[in-house]
Amino acid sequence: MRYRVLRPPYLYRWAVLLSVLVVAVAAMVSAFSSAEGTPTAVPAPAAAPVTATTTPPEPADLVRGTAHAGKFVALTFDDGPDPVYTPQILDALTRAGAVATFCMVGTNVTRYPELVRTVLARGMRLCDHTVSHDEQLSKRSEQRITAEISGAWSDLQVAAGADVPVPYFRAPGGAWSALMRDVAARQGMKSLSWSVDSRDWTQPGAAQIVATVQRTIQPGAVVLLHDGGGKRTQTVEALNQLLPWLSAQGYRFDFPA
């Protein structure tokens, strides 16, 4: 005798399945809620690497050394010519048998052209220091940069009364740009920087100017000094002490490379 398997009605089976599904969903919601309510440790973001803040190096094509190797030093004077201080500095250089390079501003060149001729007659070299000494020149347009550099070069030619070499260009405040260096190169000039800043422009006193140069001088150095742009009595006094000291240390005087 075969027994018939009793199957629950379809409605009942769907009810059972639905109950199981509801229980399962409820369990998942409960677990999710529990997880949401419990703070989970979130790993802290990795700290950014600490990098040293350094001043970007000057471009490699700037001149910072003397023309000759060995114990030489190149003195450079900015922002002249000045009718009071340039002649005093020239006299000090002549007494010491020294040479130097004078980075001249066009507005002063046109005002005192005879000083340009005197500088050349004393065996010194000229350097273009722009027409107006705009320390923001590196941010100007190419047209403005060209006018400032070429204009000062032309001023020097006119003041000298002859075609004279101007081997160097120096940016006002040492604020360089690639465009400025390129314009100077097209004019036939090397971009002249320095390796020793006397900081005479801060007017710290002659003794401090002397001490700064003595502490930082080395063979092949190009020294930044000023014969214009303000009162330069301290520079003149410091130079009269530095020139014999440099000679006593075995230094000879040269032009920049």
Domains of the chain, by residue range, sit at 72-253
H-only helix segments in 65-141:
85-96, 106-111, 113-121
pLDDT at 195: 98
CA-based torsion, 123, 101, 225, 65: positive or negative: negative
- Which tokens in the block code for residue 29? 């919601």
CATH homologous superfamily for the domain 72-253: Glycoside hydrolase/deacetylase (3.20.20.370)
Catalytic position from the list 128, 226, 227, 254: 226
Q: Which residues of the chain have pLDDT under 50?
A: 1-56
Determine whether 68 is an active site residue: no
Determine whether 78 is an active site residue: yes
pLDDT at 86: 98
pLDDT in tens, 86-117: 999 999 999 999 999 999 999 999 999 999 99
Catalytic position from the list 78, 79, 82, 227: 78
Using a 10 angstrom Cβ sphere, with 0-12 exposed, 13-18 middle and 19 or more buried, the burial of residue 150 is middle
SS3 223: strand
Least Cα distance to 127 among 178, 189, 176 occurs for 189
- What are the Cα distances from residue 223, in Å, to 46, 131, 178, 227, 239? 47, 22, 23, 13, 11
